[in-house]
Amino acid sequence: MDVVEQRPRLVSLRVTQFRGDNSAPAPAPQKLSLELRQDIEVGLGTSANADGPLLALVNVALHATAKAPDGTDIGAFFEGRYEGKFEYPAGVTEELIGPRFAMEPYQYVLVAQVVPLAMTHFRRELQAMGLDARELPLGL
């Protein structure tokens, strides 16, 4: 059972990088598929200020490649990197939270808050670059 006084709070989601290339000639509208891969890292840290709170960081990297219906690569690729930062309440130490943080369900709760926000931004950027990304999932 999680103690309310020890729960981290999501304080920021930052887009650290987005890049893409959709320079292939625009043929008549066609159904494309997107191959999506995600890399997720979770870690504990401290703020630059020695008196600052304990932090949990979730880094999400999303990679997508557009494919034609026959599976050929059309030359459109995209990559987005996101960082979610959680702050623990004052007085929470790594020794106190470390054993719980090492468990997958605990990490999942943090990741499940960051990935939908990152995917929402990623989908919007894909749509701004001319791809219909409405069918991409928002969750894990």
Model confidence at 28: pLDDT above 70:
no
End-to-end CA distance of the chain: 23
Rounded CA gap, 28 and 120, in Å? 27
Residue labelled with tokens 């670059």: 129
- pTM of this structure: 0.86
| 7 close to 109: Cβ distance less than 8 angstroms | no
Quick: pLDDT tens for 44-93: 988 787 788 899 999 999 999 988 778 777 778 999 999 999 999 988 88
Which residues contact residue 50 at a Cβ distance below 8 angstroms, ignoring those fewer than 6 apart? none
pLDDT, tens digit, 9 for 90 and up, residues 30-39? 677 788 899 9
